[in-house]
Homo-oligomer: A and B are copies of this chain.
């Protein structure tokens, strides 16, 4: 098995044109068509020798003896990492994106939808955007409304203008007045603080000697505890899934079914996308790299997006491994930045 060091300039260029060619027209690429490349003044025979080397290195492979060559996952990986020449977006395109993301801005949920739609519309693949999840999100306002029995409807608004609501089960019956009082107390003490901080404060309060605080405050804190105990569930907005049904590499019904099941189960996808939260810039999973069977024949191009310099979510594009990376990568990059900007300007 030859190592990467065996790759000279020429082999790399050949790999590059092969991958580009394959991405362009979806057919296995033979030595003849490559010999036609103007920058590659070699005979088909020589090219065959080089291709044999590339195949030994596991960068390309032949579907069968008399078909051309197709990039393997490693081949795509090398291509994306070091051979790719990305096409930056034109400023007119950028303006257009900005417009379509900002027009009629009606709250955070809406702009996420738009971003997802944008990703899928432009790439003709599937677009995905995770809901923003900030550690430093601050509480703006909280309110309790009584329901039947010991159930209480909690509504709280965060500084992202997101409205969360949740039903909690309290240990005893509270009167509307008590609930009002608890809300007043919590608003006065916790408003403007981050949810993480609030969780800390709650634990401290509960540890404190109970004699020093009155019952109303204990009740309030108990309820706040129930409210903020677990994070709101992770979720994402997916668009253009149906675009994926057009690709021949995903036309196998069993595969497609697994993929769509993964989409509706959400858990796996979330987990996968979460891995991009830490990474800087655009991150790419090619084929089996993702580690999820359902995505074996897909690539994900993702980027995290930020509000006020804090990374809060991930967006990206899902498509077949054979996709136009040189266009998708800068596009995902820009969209992430635009989405962050759109969410900032509030």
Q: List A residues at the B interface (Cβ < 8 Å).
A: 106-107, 140-141, 143, 145, 147-148, 153, 155, 157, 161, 163, 165-167, 239, 241-242, 245-246, 251, 253, 256-257, 260-261, 264, 346
Contacts and interface: CB of A to CB of B under 8 A. Distances in A.
Contact of A157 (B145, B161, B242): B145
A136 B253 CA distance: 45
A267 to B, nearest CB: 15
B153 A155 contact: no
Residue of A106, A107, A167, A242 contacting most chain B CB atoms (<10 Å): A242
Copy tally for this chain in the complex stands at 2
By Cβ-Cβ distance, the 10 closest A-B pairs, closest first, are A163-B165, A245-B257, A242-B260, A107-B167, A242-B261, A242-B257, A106-B167, A153-B161, A147-B161, A245-B253
Contacts of A161: 145, 147, 153, 167
Nearest to A148: B346
A290 to B, nearest CB: 19
A153 B155 CA distance: 13
Contact of A257 (B143, B148, B153, B246): B246
Contacts of A246: 253, 257
Contacts of A167: 106-107, 161
A157 B153 CA distance: 10
